[in-house]
Amino acid sequence: MLSGERRQDRASRTHTGAIHATGVDKTYRAARGRTVVALSDINLSVAAGEFLSIVGPSGCGKSTFLNLVAGLLPSSAGTITVGGNVVAEPSTDVGIVFQNALLLDWRTVLENIMVPIEVMGLARKEHREAALQLLEMSGLASFADSYPWQLSGGMQRRVAICRALVFNPPILLLDEPFGALDAMTRDYMNIELMRIWQQYRKTVIL
Ligand code: ADP
Ligand code: MG
């Protein structure tokens, strides 16, 4: 029964995962007073639990959009809401995986996954359990005490995904997370990602 309630809990949390962008512009100030229009009048809705892939050539504004949703950059115009709240700063509703895994070399795999917990000041003990569960789910249980440089590129990406999921955010943003991997590992990682999505029912933007 307890696990049933937990599952319910998780499912109800995903209702906070809806994303709406309305009339979003982003203009960067570049060198010598020039400006770069990265996004212009973006209108987009992502339902809670949906998996959205954004496809486009390099420089079309994919990373910019994800950074706006994550609250890491301010928009120049328009509004983005996450779970009904206007995004104004980074929030615990969003986990993000960047193009490079960005793991800390001097910390073990488990300690890397715990970084957001420390930064946000969340309960260590409870989230350590969550971190170990995620490692188990990613087939990395036996690497908890290894260092990032002892892992393959694909394994490092999986650690970065565990780190983004450890505080159980309803939304997962992935910015070309498998870009620099070889084709076979990339295929494998995409399948892994679908598995994670099916298991945890996050709202995902890739
Ligand atoms: P993508 O992720 O699709 O490759 P980006 O969102 O990184 O695209 O970039 C969109 C546009 O904004 C590009 O023309 C890029 O040069 C420009 N841009 C991105 N970041 C900055 C920045 N910090 N300052 C100025 N221009 C930027
Ligand atoms: Mg990019």
- What does the pLDDT average to over 190-200? 87
At residue 151, the 3 state secondary structure works out as: coil
Residue 185 confidence (pLDDT): 84
With a CB cutoff of 8 Å and minimum separation 6, the contacts of 92 are: 120, 167, 169
31 DSSP 8-state letter: G
- What does the pLDDT average to over 89-114? 92
- What does the pLDDT average to over 27-50? 94
Judged by average pLDDT, the poorest of 32-36, 126-130, 183-187 is 183-187
Q: What type of residue sits at position 102?
A: L
Best mutation site among 26, 27, 28 for ligand 1 pocket (most ligand atoms within 8 Å of CB): 28
Q: What are the strands, taking DSSP E only, across 55-183?
A: 77-82, 85-86, 94-97, 171-174
201: phi > 0 → left, psi -120 to 50 → alpha, else beta; which?
A: left
- Measured CA to CA, the distance from residue 38 to residue 136 in angstroms comes to 39
77 touches 113 (CB < 8 A) = no
Q: Closest by alpha carbon to 110, among 134, 80, 137?
A: 134
- Distance (angstroms) between ligand 1 centre and the Cα of 109 equals 31
Predicted confidence band of residue 3 (pLDDT cuts 50, 70, 90) = very low
Q: Closest by alpha carbon to 129, among 107, 110, 153?
A: 110
Q: Compute the mean pLDDT over every residue in the chain, rounded to the nearest whole number.
A: 89
Best mutation site among 29, 36, 39 for ligand 1 pocket (most ligand atoms within 8 Å of CB): 36
Ligand 1 binding pocket (C-beta < 6 A) is 28, 30, 36, 38, 56, 58-64
- Distance (angstroms) between ligand 2 centre and the Cα of 59 equals 7
102 DSSP 8-state letter: -
Is the predicted pLDDT of residue 44 greater than 90, yes or no? yes
pTM confidence score: 0.87
Predicted confidence band of residue 177 (pLDDT cuts 50, 70, 90) = confident
- Distance (angstroms) between ligand 2 centre and the Cα of 118 equals 27
Predicted confidence band of residue 7 (pLDDT cuts 50, 70, 90) = very low
- Measured CA to CA, the distance from residue 96 to residue 198 in angstroms comes to 18
